Chain A
Amino acid sequence: MKAITLNINGEKCRVQARPHWSLAYTIREKVGLTGTKTGCEMGTCGSCTVLLDGQPIFSCLKMAVDAEGHEITTIEGLEKDGKLHPLQQAFIEDHGMQCGFCTPGMIVAGRALLDENPRPSEQQVREAIAGHLCRCGTYARIVRSILHAAEMSQNR
C-alpha cells in the first residue's frame, strides 16, 4: 500500500493504493465516485474515460500511482452548482442513451472534443467516440447530442 493524493474534480483525495490498482478501480472503489464505469478493464469499451489534464484517457489503463500530480476530471465534475453541462442537457433532450452505462464515458469524451474543437463536424464527433462502445446501439443519437451540445455552448 502506498499513500497517494489524487486531484479529482478539483478536490484532493488521499487514498491508500496498491501499485497494481488502476485509476478506474481506485476512483470507483476507494474514492467512491462510481460514475466512471468499467466495462472491459482493458481499454476496449471506453466506459471508464476520464480527463487527465484535459485529455481523455481510459482510466482502466492508467495506474493510480501514476495519476498523482495530474488534474483528473470525472463525469461527476461536469455538473457545476447544480447546473448540468450542455452535453448532459443535450444527452437528456436528444435521448443520447438507453441503459446509460456508456453515457459517462461518452459525455467525458464529448467534453474533451468540444474543449478542443467547439464546432465539430459529425465525422469529427464520430472519430472522438470511435474508441467507445454502446451495446444498446445509440450511436445516432449520441452523435446528435454532442452536435447539439456544441450548438448550445456557442449560443450561450
Chain B
Amino acid sequence: MTTETTVVGKSLPLIDGYEKVTGKLKYAGDLPALQRMHHAKVLRSPYAHARIKHLDTGRAEALDGVSAVLTYRDPIIGTKRTCGQVWTDPSFNFRGPLISDEVCFVGDEVAAVSAVDEDTAKEALRLIDVDFEELPAVFDMEEAMKPGAPRVRPWGKNYLDSSLFAWGDIEQGFKKADYIIENRTTMGNQQHAPLDRNACIAHWDSEQHLTIWTSTQALFWLRDAICEFFELSPRQVRVHSTPTGGSFGLWWANNFMFIARALARKARRPVRFSLTRDEVQTTVKRRERPITDIRLGVKKDGTLVAQSHRHLLDNGAYGNKFDPYQSVADLYTTEHGRTEFIGVSTNLLTAGCMRGVGDLTLAFAIEQAIDLAAEKVNMDPVEFRLKNVWKTGDILHTSQEVVFAKLMFNKEPEIRLTSSGMHECLRKGAELIGWKDKWKGWNEPSAVDGSRRRGVGCALSTHISGLPFFGYNGIVIKVNSDGTMALTTGIGRMGQGGDTTQAMVAAEVLGVKLEDINVIDGDSEVCPHTMVTYGSNGMHMVARATRAAAEDAKRQILDLAADALEANAEDLEIRDRRIFVKGSPDTGIGLKELMSKPIYEYLASPEIIGRASQGVDFTKSGKMMIADFCEAEVDTRTCQVKIVKFVAVHDSGTIVNPAVCENQVAGGMYQSLGFCFTEHLVFDDETGAILNPNFMDYKLVGPMDMPDPIIHFVQVYDQDGPFGAKGIGEGVTCAVPAAVAAAVRNAIGVWINPPITPDKVMAALHRG
C-alpha cells in the first residue's frame, strides 16, 4: 500500500541547516557562561586497577579560585544501586559510586575540582597528593572468565549470566547436516570519536532543583538516570539536551555529566565540565570488542539446518551489556538454533553501544561463517544467501522484544518479521557491483595485475528500527494563528536529521510546507516523553506518534473548517495550507484565515493543539535490511588494501528524505571502513592504557581516503511504519566490515579480522 505524498520522499533541506552553515547552532560547549560559573577538571587514574592508599586534597582546596574538590569521601556522590544486575532501567552509568576509592581502568576518575577557570582547576589537580596500591588487573576477556582471575571491580562478577536463546533441537540439527562449519572471529576496539568534545553545565537553581545542559541523544534517560542515581524526582531535574556534534552512541548518561552535577552541588555555583579530546577518546566509552564462535550445519544442496553462536563482548570496566541487539542472529532461518551472549568485564576503558552495536559484531562473524558454508558446498555466496536468508513472516527467536517480555513480564511471545526486502537488496547489490562478471568462484580473485589482486565480497545485516521498551512517544503540535506550527518532541539531534524528518511527517499529514513548522526539542520539562534516540527508532517508532499528533490536529482543523464552510468534516481535505471540499477545491478556506478568524461564541480566534502519547506494540517492530558489496584491491608487495568500489543497498521501507538517508548510509560506510583499517584503540599490553588518544594516531577516514559509495534504496512499504518507513541510522554500519573482509579474502585467499593492517596482511600471506 502506498499513498501519494507531497512532502514525504523529497530531499528537503534540513530545518536547522541555516544554524549549521552560519555557526549559530549551539552545541553544549558553545553555551554562554552562567553568572558565577566555575570550570571542572578531573584527576584520573594512571593504573588499570588500584586502590587509593592515601589522598590529601588540602593544598588543592587552599588554592585561590578553587571552589570544590570532590573525592570518594564526599557524602554527596551518588551510587548506582543496581550495579551488576541486568538492566531494565534507563541508566547506562554502571559505575557503582560516582567516584570510588578503587579505580578500575586507566583514566578512571580519582578526584574532581571546580575552579574559577580551567587553568586554575588544572593547577589544583597538580596539588592533590595521592598514593595508590596497585591491584591485579585483567585485560583479556577469556582470562577474566577463568576461575581465580583477578576481580575487575569491587562489585559484581567479571562476567554476566549469559543471555541464551534456543530453538528446535540443536544436536539433532547438526546431525542432519552434511557438513559442519566452525569458525572464530574477533574485531578491534573502535571509538565513537565524534568531532565535538562535549561539555556539561550543571546548575542548582535552588536547593531542590537542578538544571543540566549537555549534548546528548538521550534527553529523558539522562534525566531519569540522574534522578535514580541521586535519588531525585523528575520534578527536581530539568535537562536541556543540545544537538550533539556527532554521538554514534557515545553521549547518553555519562559519568562526566554526573560529576558536573555533584561539583555544582558542593561548590554551590554553576559548574561547566568540558572534556578534552584525550578524555573523549579514553575515558567515556568505546564499542564492545567481540570474540565469536560459530557453528553452522549445512546440507550438500546448500540448505542451512542448524546454527549456534557464542558471542563474548568486552564490556571494559563499567559496561553492562548482556544482550547486544542481536536482530542479526535470526538473519538466516534455520529449524534448529542456539545463540548465547556473554558480557565480560576487563580493566580497560568501559565499552558500550556504538552505532550498529551487536548487529555489527555478530554480522561480521555470521557472514564469514556463511561464506565458509557456501564455499564448502561450492555455491556462489549470493545464491547461498538468497536460498537461506529470512523472509517476511519468519519467526524471530532472539528478538529483543522477546528478551524484554521475558525480563519484565516472564512471558515468551512469538514475534514475526513484519517486512523484508532482503532478497531484492541482494539482487540489486549484485547487479550494481557487477557480481556476475567479478565473481569468478572460490579461491579465484576477480582480477590479477602483477602484485595487485582484486576481489569482491558481499555481506548482509539487519538492525532494529527501535525497541518498544525504550518508552512512550509523546508529540505536541501547536497550530499558530497564521497557520504555522510548533512541533514539540524529545527526539535527539545528532546529525540524523530527526527534527527535519519528524516535521516532514507532520507537514505531510497537515497539508502544509516543511518551513511552516518549527521544532521545539531538548527540554525535559517542556517536551513530552520521547524514546531515547537510538536503535534507529526515529522514523519507525517516534514518527508514529508524530503522525498521530498531526492527525489529531488535522481532525480539529477540519472540524473548525466544517463549521466555517458549512460542510461535513469527513468531506474535507487539507492541502497546500488550505482546507477544501473533496472534489470541489474552490469551496474552501485558507488555514491562516481559518486560524485567525474569531469564533462568534467565544469572541476569540481558536488555538489548536494536536497531541499523541503512545507506546509501540512490540509485535509491530520492523527491522531494516542491508546488503553491502565491496570490491577491494590488495597489493601483495606493499600489503596495502584499497577499496575500489562499495555498494550499499538498504530496505528501510519508505525513504522519507532521500538526501538525509544517503548521508546516513555514506557515513555508516566511512565509519565502518575506518573500523576495518585504521580505527583501532591500541591498549598497552602492560598497563592497559590507550596509546593513541587523538586523531593523529587514531585515524578517521578523511575526504581523500575512500571512494564514495553507490547507494540504492529498496523501498518495501512497512505496514506499521509511518508512510511505510523503517529505521536506518545504525544499520548502515553493520554489514560493511564483513563485506570488506570477504572481498579481501576473495583477493588473497585469507580471512583477516579488523583492523586489516599491512602487517596482518603480510603475516597472512606468508602463512599462505
Interface residues of A (CB under 8 A from B): 18, 28, 32-42, 44-45, 47, 74-76, 78-79, 84, 87-88, 91-95, 97-104, 107, 126-127, 129-130, 132-143
Contacts and interface: CB of A to CB of B under 8 A. Distances in A.
Interface in B701-723: 701-704, 708-709
B703 A88 contact: no
Given A44-B694, A98-B496, A135 B23 contact: no
Contacts of A33: 23
Interface in B483-497: 494-497
Contact of A136 (B24, B495, B659, B702): B495
Given A88-B21, A126-B704, A139 B694 contact: no
A142 to B, nearest CB: 7
Given A100-B20, A100-B25, A133-B700, A39 B670 contact: no
Interface string B1-24: 000000000010110111111111
B14 A37 contact: no
A102 to B, nearest CB: 6
A28 B546 CA distance: 37
Contacts of A28: 30
B26 A95 contact: no
A107 to B, nearest CB: 6
Contacts of B660: 95
Contacts of A100: 16, 19-21, 25, 243, 245, 495
Closest A-B pairs by Cβ, 7 of them = A35-B23, A99-B495, A101-B245, A137-B667, A100-B20, A137-B670, A98-B495
B705 to A, nearest CB: 9
B670 A101 contact: no
A47 B194 CA distance: 12
A41 B495 contact: no
Contact of B663 (A44, A84, A95): A95
Interface residues of B, number: 57
B196 interface: yes
Given A132-B703, A136-B495, A137-B701, A39 B277 contact: yes
B666 A140 contact: yes
A102 B195 contact: yes
8 contacts: A99-B196, A99-B245, A100-B245, A135-B667, A136-B663, A137-B669, A138-B666, A139-B708
A37 B703 contact: no
Contacts of A137: 663, 666-671, 701
A109 B709 CA distance: 24
A119 to B, nearest CB: 19
Contacts of B246: 98-99, 101, 135-136
Interface of B: 11, 13-14, 16-27, 29-30, 32, 119, 193-197, 243-248, 276-277, 494-497, 659-660, 662-664, 666-671, 694-696, 700-704, 708-709
Given A84-B22, A136-B495, 15 more contacts: A28-B30, A32-B32, A36-B23, A38-B29, A39-B196, A39-B245, A84-B21, A92-B21, A95-B13, A99-B195, A99-B495, A101-B194, A129-B703, A138-B663, A139-B708
Nearest to B25: A100
Given A130-B702, A137-B701, A101 B22 contact: no
Given A135-B700, A143-B703, A40 B22 contact: no
A88 B664 CA distance: 21
Contacts of A134: 195, 703
A43 B245 CA distance: 18
Contacts of A139: 666, 670, 703, 708
Select the residue from A28, A36, A134 with max chain B CB neighbours within 10 A.
Answer: A134
Nearest to A108: B23
B243 A99 contact: yes
B512 to A, nearest CB: 20
B23 A34 contact: yes
Given A39-B195, A40-B694, A100-B19, A133 B13 contact: no
Given A74-B23, A97-B14, A98-B496, A38 B197 contact: yes
Contacts of A103: 20-21, 23
Contact of B195 (A37, A93, A140): A37
B478 to A, nearest CB: 26
Contact of B667 (A79, A98, A104): A98
B276 A104 contact: no
Contacts of B662: 95, 141
B32 to A, nearest CB: 7
A37 B193 CA distance: 15
A44 B695 contact: yes
Contacts of B496: 98
B196 A97 contact: no
B663 A141 contact: yes
A104 B243 CA distance: 15
Contacts of B703: 126, 129-130, 132, 134, 139, 142-143
B22 A88 contact: yes
Given A76-B22, A92-B21, A100-B20, A41 B276 contact: yes
A76 B20 CA distance: 11
A44 B16 CA distance: 27
B17 A97 contact: yes
Nearest to A133: B700
A101 B701 contact: no
Contacts of A141: 659, 662-663, 666
A137 to B, nearest CB: 3
B245 A37 contact: yes
A141 B17 CA distance: 14
Nearest to A101: B245
Contacts of A45: 195, 695
Nearest to B701: A137
A40 B245 contact: no
B17 A92 contact: yes
Nearest to B495: A99
B347 to A, nearest CB: 27
A35 to B, nearest CB: 2
Contacts of A32: 32
Contacts of B26: 34
A92 B18 CA distance: 7
A134 to B, nearest CB: 7
Select the residue from A45, A47, A87, A140 with max chain B CB neighbours within 10 A.
Answer: A140
A104 to B, nearest CB: 4
B21 A127 contact: no
Given A37-B195, A44-B696, A138-B667, A93 B704 contact: no
B45 to A, nearest CB: 23
A91 B708 CA distance: 18
A1 to B, nearest CB: 11
Contacts of B248: 135
A98 B497 contact: yes
B701 to A, nearest CB: 7
Select the residue from B11, B18, B22 with max chain A CB neighbours within 10 A.
Answer: B22
B14 A92 contact: yes
Contact of B277 (A40, A93, A102, A130): A40
Contacts of A138: 663, 666-667
A131 B143 CA distance: 41
Contacts of A104: 21, 23
A99 B696 contact: no
